[in-house]
Amino acid sequence: MVNIPVHERFALRFASFSENREPFYTNGGPVHTLQASESADTIAYRASAKVLPIDRVTLVLAHDYLSEKGTGYSGSNFANALAAGLLPDEVPNPRSVIYHGPQGAQDLKH
């Protein structure tokens, strides 16, 4: 983030964010072409201008942008298995999930 005071009654601000990472889960199934859940390719920014034309009046003009892509979240829910008697030590890797069907994906623009 950067603030730029241009004049005593005018300022600019720019802030950005990005995240790019591999999935938190692993594909433990036989279809190895499917990528696991929770990969991220995100970029966002906000640009704004603040103007004080007269005392007691402040104007802010802002522009936001967000692009969020990745494999989305499919989850791994052990609640029913644990309630049925599965012990946590009996699960070798709770983040290894068997994937099947279409590739999970998210594509959000704002």
Q: What is the pLDDT of residue 100?
A: 85
Q: Are 89 and 78 in contact (CB under 8 A)?
A: no
- Give just the sign of the alpha carbon dihedral 92, 93, 94, 96: negative
Q: What is the pLDDT of residue 47?
A: 98
Distance CA 52, CA 70 (A): 41
- Dump pLDDT digits (tens) for 53-79: 999 999 999 999 999 999 988 767 788
- Rounded average pLDDT over 28-32: 90
CA-nearest of 96, 106, 107, 105 to 28 is 96
- Dump pLDDT digits (tens) for 40-53: 999 999 999 999 99
Q: How many domains does the chain have?
A: 1
Query: Domain range holding 73?
Result: 2-109
**DSSP-assigned letter for residue 8:** T
Distance CA 19, CA 104 (A): 18
State the pTM of this model: 0.71
